[in-house]
Structures are given as structure tokens and as C-alpha cells.
């Protein structure tokens, strides 16, 4: 097992004791699952070697969708599917995040806030991509993945988008390429995203609570 299980086994009891009454139920279940993954808590499977007939006992995994050990294979399969479906040509990575001052609030309203984050960021890309001054296509393609933690294991919700360099235009039926070294202007994209995120949070009934 990896570092996450070691961290949970060492520090989870103290963390749960301090914050357990405020933790979402699925967080507690995830911690318990990862701590017990392949420990024998979920039983074991016995395999017989076809060559020598020796029996091998393998502890069962937790199967939790957040467990890095259980989901590593599925993650690699997902990556292979994305690589097979990608468009030819150059690509860009675009990252959207939220101000540090509201991250604690978002952590307490994750489902609605994450939805607002996805909605605002994807619509910001679409809005700017169709501008003739930039790409001029109303159907950009992109894949977005939500990350909720930073490299130092601090809570830091953000979305990484991988986007091909261009967009399809339904107006002329053509693919409009972006520059090889430039996708969309960051300052303009940030302003549109900020406004749309504010509107999305209002629509979810969260803005007045911040």
C-alpha cells in the first residue's frame, strides 16, 4: 500500500476524534475503507498455482472509489480511453481554482460548489472560444478533472482541463485552430470565470452564505 494508507493509519484516529462530528459521512467511510484495504478486514481470496498446486491467500481490497490502490488500474484504463479519443494536433492545459478565503466554506458545501465550479469554468471557455478575436468556434472540446487537494495535502479544489488547440464552428462547419503557443487570454478568461462562478453560486443559493 502507499503513503495515503500510512498517513490515515497514523493520523486518522486523532483527526476523527477532533473533527468527526463535522465530517461528511462519506469521508469517514473513505478513511475506514482505505485504512482496512488489503489488511484482512474484508476477508481474503485463495488462489491455487496451476504449476505447483500451492495455495496463495490474497487479502481483499476495499473497492472504495477514492482508494489509490483499488482505483489505479481504472485510472490507467480511463487515461487510455482519453488518449484514444483525443483529437490530432496541439493541446493545452487550463486550470481553474477558487480564492483561498472561501475554500473552507466550499468544503462544507461540496456538491453544489463543485457543480458551480464546473459550470462556470466550462462556460467561460466556451464563451471566449467563440469570440472571433481568439478562436471563433462555438464548440471547443475539453476534458475536465476535479482535484480537491494540493501536492502538500492541503484542501485546494481546482479543475484541470485538457483542451485541443481550436474549436469547431457550427456557423461555417470548419475547425478553427488556435495558435500553437496560445489558447485563450488568461485575464479575460479569469474575469468571465469569476462572474459565472458568482452567478452559479447564487443560483445554488450559496452566495449569500459566504
86 vs 162: CA distance, rounded Å: 10
Residue 90's nearest CA partner among 184, 164, 178 is: 164
Please give, one letter per residue, the 3-state secondary structure of 88-124.
CCCEEEEEEECCHHHHHHHHCCHHHHHHHHHHHHHHH
> Would you state the pLDDT for residue 1?
53
pLDDT digits (tens, 9 = 90+) for 112-152: 999 999 999 999 999 999 999 999 999 999 999 999 988 88
Please give the average pLDDT of every successive group of 10 residues along the chain, which has 210 residues.
83 91 87 92 92 90 89 86 87 95 91 96 97 95 91 89 96 95 96 96 86
Dihedral sign for Cα 105, 109, 111, 113, please.
negative
Torsion of CA 13, 14, 18, 21, to 10 degrees: 0
> Would you state the pLDDT for residue 2?
65
137 vs 141: CA distance, rounded Å: 10
Q: Which residues contact 29 (CB under 8 A, 6 or more apart)?
A: 64
Category of 21 on φ-ψ map: left (φ > 0), alpha (ψ -120 to 50) or beta: alpha
Residue 149's nearest CA partner among 190, 193, 103, 201 is: 103
> Would you state the pLDDT for residue 23?
83
Amino acid at each position: 500500500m502507499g503513503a495515503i494508507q500510512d498517513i490515515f493509519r497514523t493520523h486518522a484516529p486523532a483527526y476523527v476524534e477532533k473533527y468527526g462530528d463535522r465530517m461528511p459521512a462519506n469521508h469517514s467511510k473513505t478513511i475506514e475503507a482505505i485504512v482496512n484495504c488489503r489488511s484482512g478486514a474484508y476477508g481474503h481470496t485463495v488462489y491455487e498455482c496451476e504449476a505447483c498446486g500451492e495455495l496463495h491467500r490474497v487479502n481483499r481490497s476495499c473497492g472504495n472509489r477514492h482508494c489509490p490502490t483499488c482505483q489505479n488500474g481504472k485510472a490507467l484504463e480511463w487515461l487510455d480511453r482519453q488518449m484514444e479519443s483525443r483529437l490530432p494536433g496541439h493541446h493545452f492545459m487550463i486550470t481553474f481554482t477558487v480564492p483561498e478565503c472561501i475554500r473552507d466554506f466550499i468544503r462544507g458545501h461540496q456538491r453544489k460548489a463543485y457543480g458551480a465550479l464546473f459550470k462556470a469554468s466550462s462556460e467561460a471557455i466556451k464563451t471566449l472560444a467563440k469570440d472571433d478575436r481568439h478562436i471563433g468556434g462555438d464548440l471547443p472540446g475539453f476534458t475536465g478533472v476535479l482535484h480537491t487537494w494540493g501536492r502538500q495535502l492541503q484542501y485546494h479544489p481546482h479543475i484541470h482541463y485538457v483542451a485541443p488547440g481550436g474549436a469547431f464552428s457550427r456557423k461555417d462547419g470548419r475547425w478553427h485552430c488556435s495558435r500553437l503557443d496560445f489558447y485563450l487570454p488568461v485575464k479575460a478568461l479569469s474575469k468571465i470565470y469569476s462572474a459565472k462562478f458568482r452567478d452559479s453560486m447564487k443560483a445554488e443559493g450559496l452566495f449569500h452564505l459566504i
